[in-house]
Amino acid sequence: MRILVFDSGVGGLSVAREIGKALPGVGMDYVADLAVFPYGALEPGVLIDRVLSLMETALAALDPAALVIACNTASTLVLPPLRARFKLPIVGTVPAVKPAAEHSRSRLASVLATPGTVKRDYTRGLIDRFGGDCRFTLVGSMVLAELVERAVSGESVTDAELLAEIAPCFVEEAGRRTDTVVLACTHYPLVLDRLRALAPWPVEWIDPAPAIARRVATVTAGAGRSRDEGAPHRFFSTGRRPVPAMLDAFGFEDGGDLFAGEALKIARG
Ligand code: DGL
């Protein structure tokens, strides 16, 4: 069986890593839309069209048992149109508001995400439905996903750059402090050790990847052999090629040019 994992960039590897642990025998194909990354500031309509068109190409070529949208910025918009168009099981990644509300004792929690994710009605809806009496601070970072892309590719990213992005998550109010931070962009768990070390005080960082991996295991139970059964984990990208050392670190090989024909220019809002 093979699974297709999609993100705008390398962040979805934080989800792929957990899928590999939950389903050790599975083959993974990963698609990163590096030509358009970051998705965080894209207009919703542009983002939806882009993801539908890439998935059309990828699903036809790779024929996976399930598709994982390992991107909060995309999942909070594209899951309904994707499910309407494609019939395979589709697992999304959305802000882990419910586990955060269950965990927080100070009743102050933060959602750290891209500007797109914090603006979405979907995210507000999750807080209304599952937040209870927990007060959520929504922190939309313009650059943290990009800093993570750089760090994972071996470029230097300073502590000051990272701290500036996470600092607004830490709120002190009437003797209470934020005790829970939702990592609502799949890039962020890739630098979790550094975020933990830089945090002004200890908090619980909620990474939804293990829960997503369990969901993938459930929806693919009983799936048969895939067309390319036994092939290595393959990484496909639009635009630039990924850094080989990064692929090695996650157990992926460069899959080559699946999207050679895709139009790479899109309008930005
Ligand atoms: N990894 C993506 C997410 O989970 C976002 C990165 C981007 O801005 O494209 O939201």
- Give per-residue pLDDT as tens, 83-122: 999 999 999 999 999 999 999 999 999 999 999 999 999 9
Q: What is the pLDDT of residue 261?
A: 63
Q: What is the pLDDT of residue 262?
A: 61
Range(s) within the chain of domains with CATH label 3.40.50.1860: 2-93+210-268, 97-207
Task: Pull the structure tokens for residue 236.
Answer: 């496909």
**What is the rounded CA–CA span in Å between residue 241 and residue 9?**
11
Residue 74 CA to ligand 1 center (angstroms) comes to 8
Rg, C-alpha atoms of the chain = 18
pLDDT in tens, 16-55: 999 999 999 999 999 999 999 999 989 999 999 999 999 9
End-to-end CA distance of the chain, in Å?
A: 39
Confidence of residue 266 (pLDDT cuts 50, 70, 90): low
**What is the rounded CA–CA span in Å between residue 146 and residue 8?**
11
Looking at residues 132-151, what average pLDDT do you find?
A: 98
Residue 5 host element (H or E): strand 2-7
Confidence of residue 269 (pLDDT cuts 50, 70, 90): very low
Q: Which of 71, 96, 162, 183 is catalytic?
A: 71
Q: Which residues of 13-24 are buried (b: 16+ CB within 10 A; e: fewer)?
A: bbbbbbbbebbe
Nearest to 169 by CA among 128, 199, 193: 199
The yes-or-no answer on residue 169 being catalytic is no
CATH class of the domain whose range is 97-207: alpha beta
The yes-or-no answer on residue 185 being catalytic is yes
pTM, to two decimals: 0.96
Q: To the nearest whole number, what is the mean pLDDT of the chain?
A: 95
Pick the atom of ligand 1 nearest to 93's CA. 4
Q: Does 38 sit behind a cis peptide bond, omega within 30 degrees of 0 on the bond before it? A: yes
| CATH fold for domain 2-93+210-268 | Rossmann fold (3.40.50)
